[in-house]
Amino acid sequence: MGYEMLELATFAGGCFWCMVSPFEERQGIHSVVSGYTGGRKKNPTYKEVKSGTTDHYEAVQIVYNPLIISYKELVEVYWQQIDPTDSEGQFTDRGSSYKSVIFYHNEVQRIEAEGSRLALMESGRFKNPIVTEILPASEFFRAEEYHQDFHKKNPFRYALYRRARKEKSFRGNTGQKTGRL
């Protein structure tokens, strides 16, 4: 087997359940893990993160091959999953742990993310300001096992959740669908 240079990408965009599938469907993705990042507590639990007391975000960490899928492409997939104008969470998920953030792992990722956010701001697609933050990556903690691949383990419950999220996305600040859910 040949040598592969793998990289990390980390995105927060509401409930991590809905962030896994859109990425894992892409060529060049080796894994998508649900977890918590950006906070101040080691090994937080879901209950602690959801309470808002740890300052963590629900996020996904992606291991990818940049020779097959670029970081820029990953950022574009990310924008299609969120409402970048919502400062209180995402869709039906409310609270600080559900805010949208791009966590960069190196200077190239920071530049790509900032350029992509600027292009989105200048596109005129949204009437409200883009509030998605771009922050340096910090320690990532894998979420409890029942959160991993939730869409595969609980397809009916996941479908209901996605439907509620999709309905909420149609009420975004543009009067149009805000993401490609």
H/E/C letters for each residue in the chain? CCCCCCEEEEEEECCCHHHHHHHHCCCCEEEEEEEEECCCCCCCCHHHHHHCCCCCEEEEEEEECCCCCCHHHHHHHHHCCCCCCCCCEECCEECHHHCEEEEECCHHHHHHHHHHHHHHHHCCCCCCCCCCEEEECCCEEECCHHHCCHHHHCHHHHHHHHHHHHHHHCCCCCCCCCCCC
Q: Is 15 a catalytic residue?
A: yes
Active-site annotation holder among 7, 9, 11, 15:
15
Number of domains in the chain: 1
Flag whether 175 is in a domain: no
Flag whether 113 is in a domain: yes
Domain that holds residue 78: 7-169
Quote the pTM value: 0.82
For 108-132, the pLDDT digits (tens) are 999 999 999 999 999 999 999 999 9
For 153-176, the pLDDT digits (tens) are 555 555 655 565 555 554 444 434
Flag whether 174 is in a domain: no
For 68-79, the pLDDT digits (tens) are 999 999 999 999
Flag whether 2 is in a domain: no
Question: What pLDDT does 158 receive?
Answer: 55
